[in-house]
Amino acid sequence: MNIIVEDWGIIDYTLAYQRQKSLVQEIIAGGTGHLIFCEHPPVLTLGRTFTEGSLLYTKEEIEQRGVTVQTVDRGGDVTLHAPGQLVVYVILDLNLFKRDLKGYLEKLEQVAVDLLKEFGILAVSVPGKRGVFVKADKIISIGVGVRKWVSYHGVGINVNTDLSLFSLIKPCGLDVHMTSMAKLLGRPKDMDEVKKKWAEIFSKTFKGEMTS
């Protein structure tokens, strides 16, 4: 399986979403899978299971903080994207994986756990709670959408994220504190190094050949 790796840099969330949808259509038509790295200006995205109680302020108050709010068609509740968080979008034909959405999500979580281990961070997935945790704190969020068995959306990895922004929400609808690689390591982490490691581990886990 061949997977094209792209780096979109810091990109507006809506533009990235439109690009994802275009790639989904390409893959439905028989195109190649994509692994996309990017960061977003501060934005809260509200997934399909969003409840109003997950926002701790009004949308107007949140937007006054320079954070936009957008409803999206992925699974999960509310999550935050902001500079310093590595967002990984995986546009993949799940027909290649027996249409096993649960198995696909578990593989994404395993890639995330293995990634953090490479940097000396012991993390785990927790049954019934999508994402990856370090002790009681959440460090990686996962939420996907599927259209005609092609996946989109993906993973948010708190690398050097401003964690104070999470005070605006109940992340993923949970009473949980968020952490980051920078906080746990005591120093900022090079984003390019994290991207490289993710691509390597993803390739091994999903048995894909990466091209750029």
Instruction: Please give the Cα distance from 140 to 132 (Å, whole number).
Output: 5
Enclosing H/E stretch for 106 = helix 101-118
Instruction: Please give the Cα distance from 158 to 181 (Å, whole number).
Output: 6
Strands 78-81, 43-46: pairing kind: antiparallel
38 is catalytic: no
Other CB atoms within a 10 A radius of the CB of residue 26 amount to 15
Other CB atoms within a 10 A radius of the CB of residue 10 amount to 9
**Residue 145 β-bridge partners:** 152
Given the structure tokens 């109680």, which residue do they identify?
53
Query: Could you tell me which residues come within 8 angstroms of residue 152 by beta carbon, excluding any fewer than 6 positions away?
Result: 20, 21, 23, 24, 74, 89, 90, 91, 144, 145, 146
Instruction: Please give the Cα distance from 105 to 211 (Å, whole number).
Output: 23
Catalytic residue among 44, 91, 159, 172: 172
Catalytic site positions = 172
